[in-house]
């Protein structure tokens, strides 16, 4: 097949993508630009944790996990392939961060721990909702003979916004809340 250029709206660097590879993306790269940028949000809880308790090992572990999460998320969202290695690394890093956050939440003040549990619950609901929406849209597109690009664009934008606010922002808020307890 031929190659086509995918260019982000804000003028980010173009990537040449094989035309038959476009269906392999979780979300097309031009719609994932904002997700790539919002992947930097975990730096906030890392900075808070180190600032509040620089001598506490839990804060340093939280900081290291946040940096690894940032690296894996940026790698994934730059070219978000459904079966890509970066996606699975991102999922593994998110799982490690959530597991560590849950263990840490049991050791901090109850009020701060509640903020963690509520924020993580909202982030998980947003993630599940996005996957359900994605699965429904893909099934609908597979049944349809032709799908308008406007409909696909609307779905991609909704998925990106929900993931950016519900998952990236809420998980960073809840982790920052937890970091105040260290």
- Domain-located, residue 7: no
- Is residue 6 included in any domain, yes or no? no
Buried b (16+ CB within 10 A) or exposed e, 71-85: ebbbbbbbbbeeebe
- Report the pLDDT value the prediction gives residue 27, as an integer from 0 to 100: 83
Q: Please indicate, yes or no, if residue 38 is contained in any of the structural domains.
A: yes
Is 133 inside a domain boundary? Answer: yes
Number of independent structural domains in the chain: 1
For residue 23, the model assigns a pLDDT of 59
Measured in whole angstroms, how far is the alpha carbon of residue 8 from the centre of its chain? 18
Smallest CA-to-CA distance from 104 within 151, 38, 57, 161 is with 57
Is residue 21 in a domain?
no
Which residue has 């506490």 as its token pair? 56
In a domain, 86, yes or no: yes
In this predicted structure, what is the pLDDT of residue 4?
Answer: 39
Positive or negative: CA dihedral 170, 25, 83, 11: negative
**Domain carrying residue 110:** 31-179
In a domain, 18, yes or no: no
Query: Over 60: is that where the pLDDT of 11 sits?
Result: no
- Residue 5 covered by a domain: no
Give the per-residue pLDDT at 180. 87
pLDDT-derived band at 124, boundaries 50, 70, 90: very high
Burial of residue 171, with CB atoms counted within 10 A of its CB: 0-12 exposed, 13-18 middle, 19 or more buried: buried
């Amino acid at each position: 097949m031929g190659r086509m250029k995918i260019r982000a709206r804000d003028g980010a660097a173009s990537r040449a993508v094989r035309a038959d590879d476009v269906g392999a993306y979780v979300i097309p790269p031009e719609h994932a630009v904002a997700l790539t940028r919002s992947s930097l949000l975990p730096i906030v809880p890392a900075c808070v944790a180190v600032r509040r308790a620089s001598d506490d090992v839990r804060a340093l572990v939280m900081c290291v996990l946040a940096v690894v999460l940032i690296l894996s998320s940026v790698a994934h969202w730059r070219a978000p392939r459904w079966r890509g290695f970066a996606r699975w690394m991102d999922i593994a890093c998110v799982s490690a961060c959530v597991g560590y956050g849950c263990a840490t939440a049991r050791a901090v003040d109850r009020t701060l721990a509640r903020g963690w549990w509520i924020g993580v619950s909202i982030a998980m609901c947003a993630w599940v909702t996005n996957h359900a929406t994605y699965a429904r849209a893909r099934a609908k597109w597979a049944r349809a003979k032709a799908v308008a690009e406007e409909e696909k664009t609307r779905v991609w934008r909704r998925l990106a916004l929900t993931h950016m606010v519900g998952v990236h922002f809420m998980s960073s808020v809840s982790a920052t809340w937890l970091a105040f307890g260290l």
